[in-house]
Amino acid sequence: MMFYDMRKLLSKIVTNRLFLHSIIVSSLFVWAIGTNSCSAQATDAALNALSSDNAINVEVTTNFIAFRQRSPAKAPEIGFIFYPGGLVDARAYAPLCRTIAEAGFFVVITPVPFNLAVFNPFVGQPIIQEMRFVRTWVIGGHSLGGAMAARFVYEDSTRCKGLVLYASYPDVSNDLSKRSIRTLSVSASLDGLAAPSTIDRNKQYLPPVPQTRYVVLEGGNHAQFGNYGKQNRDNDATISAQEQQRITADETIRFLNSLQ
């Protein structure tokens, strides 16, 4: 869930943890309750995707949810760290991330404090430091999660070779237009929160084409990048969540393969 109306304020104060926790937490949740936008829970389909099987091993801890092929020909060379959308249960992205892992990538969803990545845009750092079997890292996320993945890259563009944004974008405070970072931006034509006009307006803060590849999902909306049900102020999609996530996974896999 994206809070672009508040993001500029939050990005400026993110380094001040005491102020962030004492003032912003309370006001943000009062705002969320007032707009009937409390945390969205993962659906049964998402929870079912958290079970290991003969093809994929799923490891669920308090710090991460990891998906990895059980019998790859070789250890995965590329890892994909995924930040969930704001006020969305991290488990809601299990089906999408599992599909990407089935193509041979190591995929890690990082739960974030209060389900808001803005409280720790650098939650992916321990993953990179500890899981050294991965040679190349890519970071990304949905909505607010994608924006905070962009902040991660803005602060330290040496750790990740690529950035993946779903219904998301950086702004002037995280201007990546001069950075050498391969980027994939996947958005949806019926998104009621990260509208196509907003995505277009913020293209100036991403590396130019061809360093950035833009994909627009015709008939998709904001919520169907995950499995957490409908979302306030979003538009109704004309394609299914399964189709939206299939195309998203295919484009992400294509992007990750291009980095090898």
Long-range contacts of 233-238 (CB under 8 A, 24+ apart): 233/192, 233/193, 234/191, 234/192, 234/193, 235/190, 235/191, 235/192, 236/190, 237/188, 237/190, 238/190
Does 3.30.460.80 match the CATH number of domain 4-258?
Answer: no
What value does the mean pLDDT take over residues 134-157?
Answer: 96
The reported pLDDT for the residue numbered 2 is 46
pLDDT higher at 157 or 179 = 179
| d(C-alpha 186, C-alpha 214), whole Å | 6
Residues β-bridged to residue 88: 40
Cα 112 vs. chain centroid, distance in angstroms? Answer: 11
The reported pLDDT for the residue numbered 39 is 82
Q: ∠ CA(13), CA(15), CA(20), 5° rounding?
A: 55
| d(C-alpha 67, C-alpha 94), whole Å | 9
| d(C-alpha 67, C-alpha 70), whole Å | 9
| d(C-alpha 199, C-alpha 217), whole Å | 13
What value does the mean pLDDT take over residues 104-112?
Answer: 97
141: Cβ contacts below 8 Å, ≥ 6 apart? 82, 83, 84, 85, 117, 147, 148, 149, 164, 165, 166, 168
128 touches 137 (CB < 8 A): yes
pLDDT in tens, 197-222: 999 999 999 999 999 999 999 999 99
Cα 177 vs. chain centroid, distance in angstroms? Answer: 20
pTM over 0.75: yes
- Give the three-class secondary structure for 127: helix
What phi and psi, each to the nearest 5 degrees, are found at residue 130?
A: -95, -30
